[in-house]
Structure 1
Amino acid sequence: MNKKVLTAALVVLLSLGGLPAQSHSQLVDASPRPNTTLTTSPRQVLLTFNEELIDLGGKSNVITVTNARNQRVAVGQTVVASNQLSASFSRNLAVGRYTVWWRAVSADGHPISGKYRFSITKRR
């Protein structure tokens, strides 16, 4: 009897191995690029993902930028276009370090989020 149970369990496990893996969208490119130092203020944050995003309206897809003192920097409305998420800066950013916080809804309906930093220095 134990041999039959073991054989059945093995058949089930082997049959599951052929199922496709489920994965959420992933960030594949960003502008400004993570961990870079710029000499001029960027005009916008543009995030590109490997799959389309879903726009559910409201606060489902958001880009927030904070300065080194963790104060929010003014950005325009977050826009979803296919596999890209963007927000324009209301004015030029000052010299300093910034953190981009983002949240999006991937094509499978699951929320994804992340953050990265970039800096702006004076031109030499």
Structure 2
Amino acid sequence: MMRKISLGLLAILCLILSAPTSFAHGEIVTSYPLRDSTSSPAPTQVWIEFDGELQLIDGEVVNTLKVTDSTGLVVSAEEAIIEGSRISSQISDQSVGGVFTVEYRIVSEDGHPVEGSYTFEASPGFEATEMIEPTTVATAPDNQSELSIGAIVMAVFLVVFAVRYFIKMRNEKRDEKK
């Protein structure tokens, strides 16, 4: 009887720990310009790449990107461009240099809205330059570490269960020989 209960609990634990989870809610993979970076001259476009496809809902604006300059003037286009997991916007050349604030609101692949902001600094003057992809690699989203912890817990539990099972079997064989 105890064996059936143990096996049932083990099966339930395995199902819980191996079930796909959605811990990530639109994590930023990279952006241009990068957070807290300095750009000279000021960029003509801002974009953010997320770890999953952005949701598009017909007739509704659910993904937004707003860039303001150091005077508080909104310098981004009214509507952002959505391409897969990237949101982007052109920047007006009417801005002064200084600290720019990028504010975003997206609906991530799992349907959760995500909001955030970051800043970068830029010198005055805009030059139409070819868009360069940053080479900085972002850290992995937190969901990977959480899934790894679940896998480790499951592996430890399985090892303990297996050791306990083999000890019990060995003791039963000893008892049969006596």
Instruction: Tell me, yes or no, whether TM beats 0.5.
Output: yes
Aligned 8 A contact 1:79 1:87 in 2? yes
Gaps spanning 5+ residues in structure 2: where? 126-178
Detail structure 1 runs of 4+ shifted over 6 Å in the superposition: none
| Partner of residue 99, structure 2 | 97
Q: Deviations over 1:53-78 (max 9, x none)?
A: 11224331101112334x24232121
TM-score, normalization: structure 1? 0.79
Summarize the alignment of residues 12-23 of structure 1 with structure 2, pairs less than 5 Å apart. Answer: 12-22=12-22, 23=24
| Partner of residue 39, structure 2 | 38
Residue 46 and residue 61 in structure 1: after superposition, are their counterparts in 2 closer, same or farther (change >3 A)? same
SS in 2 for 1:45: strand
Aligned 8 A contact 1:24 1:108 in 2? yes
Partners in 2 of 1:122 and 1:88 — Cα distance? 16
Gaps spanning 5+ residues in structure 1: where? none
| Partner of residue 74, structure 1 | 75
Identity %: 28
Which structure is higher in helix share? 2
Q: Larger Rg: 1 or 2? A: 2
Counterpart AA for 1:73: V
Summarize the alignment of residues 52-71 of structure 1 with structure 2, pairs less than 5 Å apart. Answer: 52-56=53-57, 57-69=59-71, 71=72
Partners in 2 of 1:25 and 1:75 — Cα distance? 21
| Partner of residue 47, structure 1 | 48
| Partner of residue 29, structure 1 | 30
Comparing both chains, which one has the higher relative contact order based on Cα–Cα distances under 8 Å and sequence gaps of 6 or more? 1
Alignment root-mean-square deviation, CA: 2.5
Residue 64 and residue 32 in structure 1: after superposition, are their counterparts in 2 closer, same or farther (change >3 A)? same
Cα displacement (A) at 1:21 = 2.1
Residues paired across the two proteins, number: 120
Partners in 2 of 1:10 and 1:72 — Cα distance? 59
Partners in 2 of 1:107 and 1:122 — Cα distance? 36
